[in-house]
Amino acid sequence: MILLIEHLVVAVVFLVLLGVYLRNGAWETLRTVLVAIKQIPWVAESLESVLKSEATNFIKTTKLASGTGEKPAKIWIPKKGMTREEILAKMKSLKEKETNHMEGRIFAYTYTLADDHFQLQKEVFEMFTEQTGLSPEHDELVKLFQKAFLHENALNPMVYPSLRQMETEIVSMTCSMMNGNPATCGFLTSGGTESILMAVKVYRDRAQKLYPWIKKPEIVCPVTQHPAIAKAAHYFGLTVRYLPVKDDMTADVSAMEQALNSNTVLVACSAPQFCHGVLDPVEEISNMAAKHGLPCHVDACFGGFMLPWVEKLGYPVPKWDFRCPGVTSISADIHKYGYTVKGASVIAYRSDDLRKFQIFSSGSWPGGLYGSPSMAGTRPGGNIAAAWAAINSLGEEGYMSRARQLMDITDQLKAAVTEIEGLKIIGNPVMTCFAIGSSDPDVDILAVADVMEKKGWTMERQQNPSCVHCTILPHHQISCDDLAGDLKESVTIVKGNKQLSKQGTAGMYGMMATIPDTAIVEDFIKEFFSEIYKLQ
């Protein structure tokens, strides 16, 4: 009986290959055979081993074989930040091993005019480089590193190996901070949105390989998940199933589990969600996902570089990182509470098997072999260098000090808000942000935001429920007393004044809330962006 089945299988395979040959010819038939063979488990494992060996041997023949060629060991953020002298010495050492494109011996990657035009760019860069507000010395070091690598391109790590070393070290420090194990790895991206885009791509491609019968892949997450997840789904052809949150604004794990189906390829949650600073029950969600054989992504773009230090300060922070066995990836922005310039985020994976799905490769382009680990091809070297300098100059002690300072301001402001009649804090925020809502129907919080704007504040308005978002930043140290006083005055002005609710952004949000079709609201947003960027 077994022999008969084997003969039938061989016959079917033969007929399939014959059909391919008649339609496409010998070369396509050979390719089909190779694709089929690669699906056999022991063949796939052997092929992967051979390819890894060949890649390792190839690297030994490149510029990576000397200087910065050795694979860096897994490292932690230094206990004490490196001094200015130590960082400058390190920068000098890295630059000496770097390809000097100004010698005219490379033919791609860097397009620089070595004249007054280049100097002008440096001056403009200096003018518009964002200050972190931590210290002049920290900001100057970050700027120095970014300027030193301003025109270098991380697209090809063999041309600029120092960028590869710095990126590897940044990812390692970030993974260690989030309690990853030696296998945890990742890549740098341009920001949280790209990190989330890459994670969604990974899980889509993973599903395509493991479950090719899934034609309409879905993501399950709470409604408070950052819109970047919807953006990623839109770009990559997935559907997001949003679930309502509980009264305390945390994800409803039971509702999420009930929403799982045969098309689900990813479960996502936040640490914390940006809207209200509330931490989703990550451990419970990831355990639920693992029980169903699903990956779990944690969006810690906002909290990744703050929560570890808040926890070390003794604040109650539930597990949210790689200590949760079901968590398979985490996104964390360095350009937020990592205090570097804009354009640096980490997407971390529990294993390299997952990370490989992020890499795009093309072996048939006439321009040569091409590979890219992120959405962008060109990757600005200055942002990588600046992120490396930011982390190493602060060190664990520096991050702890800043976290303590910002948590003190946060606690002070939260206490002040709760003392203002008519206001309340939404949910139970865990770190340096919170959302202010109304506890009195006669106080329209969005009208309060409009009055605050007239007092010189820039307010972040939110909906469902209406509230205003406050992320506490280093520069709030000089303005927190004014914020509390102005909030109290604004509530007094707004209370009972229904007319204010019909004006300004309060009126616009109120109007939008009456439109039953969100597609109309979304069309309005598109029209707004289209108009605001139009020329005269």
Query: pLDDT digits over 471-516, tens only?
Result: 999 989 899 889 999 999 999 999 978 777 667 666 566 656 666 6
The gap from C-alpha 233 to its chain's centroid, in whole angstroms, comes to: 15
Task: Report d(CA 38, CA 51) in Å as an integer.
Answer: 13
Burial of 380 (0-12, 13-18, 19+ CB in 10 A): buried
User: In Å, what is the CA distance from 450 to each residue of 454, 455, 459?
Assistant: 7, 9, 8
Task: Report d(CA 38, CA 159) in Å as an integer.
Answer: 33
Q: What is the pLDDT of residue 366?
A: 87
Average pLDDT for the chain: 84
Secondary-structure class of domain 84-396 per CATH: alpha beta
Task: Report d(CA 61, CA 478) in Å as an integer.
Answer: 55
**CATH 3.40.640.10 segments of the chain:** 84-396
N- to C-terminal Cα separation, the chain? 80
Q: What is the pLDDT of residue 69?
A: 47
Query: pLDDT digits over 203-251, tens only?
Result: 999 999 999 999 999 999 999 999 999 999 999 999 999 999 999 999 9
Which has the higher per-residue pLDDT, 518 or 461? 461
Q: Kindly report the CA angle at 350 between 347 and 353, in degrees rounded to 5?
A: 95
**CATH 3.90.1150.10 segments of the chain:** 420-532
**pLDDT above 90 (res 337):** yes
Task: Report d(CA 24, CA 479) in Å as an integer.
Answer: 71
Query: pLDDT digits over 298-333, tens only?
Result: 999 999 999 999 999 999 999 999 999 999 999 999
Q: Which CATH superfamily is domain 420-532 in?
A: Aspartate Aminotransferase, domain 1 (3.90.1150.10)
Lowest mean pLDDT among 159-163, 177-181, 372-376, 433-437: 159-163
**pLDDT above 90 (res 336):** yes
